[in-house]
């Protein structure tokens, strides 16, 4: 068995990483286009972290980062507040599009 643990290796690798400029500019662009934004970061396993952005106007979008550390750095550089969890007020602010409702209905009915 190898010395150390996977979590130690992951933490050491993440500490040296920087948020990509494309990710930061994407977050800034969304926030500027929607009167500001808040973010919720979700860990999605090996794929990394999902940053869900909720604009002040109710629009929302998502971005992906390599891990949660990079996601938090990108949000900090973009000037977007990161919420610790999905609070009721934030969820009430979201306004899903009609296309999203239709796509969810198709998935449900196809089962």
The model's pLDDT over 67-104, given as tens digits with 9 standing for 90+, comes to 999 999 999 999 999 988 777 777 777 776 666 556 66
Q: Residue 1's pLDDT is what?
A: 42
Contacts (Cβ under 8 Å, ≥6 apart) of 20: 70, 74
Residue 2, in any domain of the structure: no
Q: How many domains does the chain have?
A: 1
Residue 49, in any domain of the structure: yes
Average pLDDT for 19-41: 91
Residue 58 reports pLDDT greater than 80: yes
pLDDT digits (tens, 9 = 90+) for 60-72: 888 999 999 999 9
Q: Residue 47's pLDDT is what?
A: 87
CB 24 within 8 A of CB 74: yes
Residue 1, in any domain of the structure: no
User: How many Å apart are CA 44 and CA 90, to the nearest integer?
Assistant: 21
Q: In the 8-state DSSP scheme, what is residue 45?
A: G
Residue 38, in any domain of the structure: yes
Backbone dihedral angles phi then psi of residue 62, each to the nearest 5 degrees: -135, 160
Residue 7, in any domain of the structure: no
CB 61 within 8 A of CB 51: no
Residue 9, in any domain of the structure: no
Residue with more model confidence, 41 or 111: 41
Residue 86, in any domain of the structure: yes
- Domain of residue 34, residue span: 21-107
Residue 33, in any domain of the structure: yes
């Amino acid at each position: 068995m190898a010395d150390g643990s996977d979590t130690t290796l992951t933490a050491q690798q993440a500490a040296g990483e920087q948020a990509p400029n494309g990710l930061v500019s994407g977050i800034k662009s969304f926030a500027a286009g929607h009167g500001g934004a808040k973010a919720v970061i979700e860990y999605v396993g090996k794929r990394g972290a999902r940053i869900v952005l909720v604009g002040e106007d109710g629009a929302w979008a998502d971005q992906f980062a390599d891990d949660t550390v990079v996601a938090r750095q990108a949000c900090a550089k973009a000037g977007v507040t990161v919420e610790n969890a999905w609070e009721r007020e934030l969820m009430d602010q979201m306004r899903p599009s009609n296309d999203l409702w239709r796509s969810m209905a198709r998935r449900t009915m196809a089962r």
